[in-house]
Structure 1
Amino acid sequence: MEIKTNSVFLLRIPIFHIYYGFICIRGETVPSCRNILVFILFLPFQIVNATEKEMESSGEDFHICIPIEITYAVELRNMVVSSYRKLGRDVEWHILPVNRCVSMVSEGVLDADIGRSSIVAEKFSNLVVVPVQLFTADINLYARKKVRQSLPEAEALLIDKSLAIGYPAEILYVVNMIDNDKSIGVRNGEQMISLLRKGRVDFILLPQAEQKRLQNEGFPLDDLHLVKEGYIKIPAFHILNSKHKTLAADLAKLFRNHLNSRDLSPR
């Protein structure tokens, strides 16, 4: 971390302290000579203290991407801001679609992504995972009508070649589970629900964060059947561009302290 010298503090040193300091050094007697010499002796320590205070109050900007779908997760954002502030950084948020977030952090245009599965670090070599799970991102399973038979776990359902499933093409964790030519990846909840209503897919995997966004915007979902809430649960981590890898351990400690008493899952 770059430390900036507090030049304002230096300007505040009274000129008469410096002037009389030279007189004292020359051996001349002036009032409070001893005090002035002590002041000059400890001057470097005072400059260091002033520098530390400045670093705490005005940190370097750190650019973090937050996907559009979880901008409502206020407590999560507050925790991230608080943690970075303790490291001398001020967070500047960039609200973008999910895929743009990870690509811009990977390219180094932005510094970090607020919540992402650790799988992205396997695909992008210049990303670093802060090793503390921040929350769980739920993916809900929907159908057009009530499903009478019991369904297998997601790993089995998503490779069943007799079924067509609409899934979020921007969530790598889900994309890696799909092994079915009939299934269709889409970029948003509206497209996914449209496929289901038109009978082009048998099921859809709707992220709960996306469902929350649609409901807040008044998008109707009443005609759909919720087969299982949290059908897929994705562990979400804070992701850094590798140029900031030295921050990972300190961030992990700060995140753990917050998470001991809070659940930050977006709701």
Structure 2
Amino acid sequence: MKKIISIFIFAIFSLSIFSAENKVIISVPDKWSSGLGFMKDLLKESYNDIGYEVIFSDLPLARSMTELINGRLDGELARSKDVAQKYNLVIVNPPYFTLKGYAYYLKGKFKKAPTIEEIKRGRISYIRGSFATEKFFIDAKSPILVNNEKQLLSLLNKDRVDFVSPVTSNFATGQNNLGKVLLFEISVHHILSIKNIELAKKLGPALKKNMTKKKYDHLHEQITKLVLEQSE
């Protein structure tokens, strides 16, 4: 009987150690936390598939990066690939989505597709709060910021601007008079601290599997909607 009790106690002790070791602390941008539930669910499900429990912590982006680099966090919910590489962090594949930024123009105004340098020198308008676009056009002269894509199209058709940069991929649907130029391409990933490189290898296949499920088919559209809501 004593032997059975000893085995039971050891099993419970071992289980508690296992549970403690299989937890990850993942930071979430505090300003967007309430709108990222779908992405949290995706990550939670993927970690559960490989036997890990996720604890989410809302933090400002700058604070989050400091904590991650110093190893006090296991990872961040989402960051661009470029930022992760800059700080020598581990990128989990596949990416949640790839954000492509385009500049649209009226075909009748140009004999051929304008170059990126021509676009940067032109009159430009884009959605307020579109951070990647703002960074790309940081040297542009007096860009016009608007709240929605309907306003972008109106400015373009009235020749108040030469180029517009929307957020959604269906901006030019039905607009045969518009051409477009690819400005940038940014992949957004779940990232981990350098100490978790092996964990990233385990998580990748589970993340890929769950991203193919129907409920995550429109992840890019959900992110886009969130960005637009934050900018209004």
Residues 197-233 of structure 1: CA deviation (Å, up to 9, x unaligned): 5977522323239x99xxxxxxxxxxxx994689565
Q: For the residues of structure 1 that align with 2:112 and 2:34, how far apart are their CA atoms?
A: 32
**1:89 aligned residue (36, 51, 54):** 54
Q: Which runs of 5+ in 2 are unaligned?
A: 222-232
Question: Which structure carries more helix by proportion?
Answer: 2
Change over 3 Å in CA distance of 1:228–1:208 after alignment to 2: farther
Q: Which has the higher contact order (CA 8 A, sep 6+)?
A: 2
Please report the TM-score for the alignment, with normalisation by the length of structure 2: 0.58
1:63–1:91 CA contact under 8 A, matched in 2: yes
Count, aligned residues: 201
Query: Is 1:77 paired with 2:40?
Result: yes
Q: For the residues of structure 2 that align with 1:244 and 1:129, how far apart are their CA atoms?
A: 10
Residues 94-123 of structure 1: CA deviation (Å, up to 9, x unaligned): 5xxxxx63x33322277644333312234x
2:125–2:146 CA contact under 8 A, matched in 1: no
Q: For the residues of structure 1 that align with 2:208 and 2:63, how far apart are their CA atoms?
A: 26
Task: Give secondary structure in 1 for the equivalent of 2:220.
Answer: coil
Counterpart of 2:220 in structure 1 is: 266
Question: Residue 50 of structure 1: CA displacement?
Answer: 4.0
Counterpart of 1:158 in structure 2 is: 116
Q: For the residues of structure 2 that align with 1:139 and 1:233, how far apart are their CA atoms?
A: 6
Task: Give secondary structure in 2 for the equivalent of 1:108.
Answer: helix
Q: Which has the larger radius of gyration?
A: 1
Please report the TM-score for the alignment, with normalisation by the length of structure 1: 0.52
Residues 163-207 of structure 1: CA deviation (Å, up to 9, x unaligned): 2334677328963xx6x9545679x7549969x959775223232
- Aligned Cα root-mean-square deviation (Å): 4.8
Counterpart of 1:135 in structure 2 is: 97
Query: Is 1:115 paired with 2:69?
Result: no
Which amino acid in the other structure matches residue 63 of structure 1?
A: S
Which amino acid in the other structure matches residue 108 of structure 1?
A: E
Q: For the residues of structure 1 that align with 2:4 and 2:93, how far apart are their CA atoms?
A: 46
Counterpart of 1:22 in structure 2 is: none
2:47–2:203 CA contact under 8 A, matched in 1: yes
Q: For the residues of structure 1 that align with 2:220 and 2:12, how far apart are their CA atoms?
A: 44
Q: For the residues of structure 1 that align with 2:181 and 2:38, how far apart are their CA atoms?
A: 21
Residues 16-57 of structure 1: CA deviation (Å, up to 9, x unaligned): xxxxxxxxxxxxxxxxxxxx143145245422454168549x
Question: Residue 257 of structure 1: CA displacement?
Answer: 2.1
* Identity among equivalent pairs (%): 19
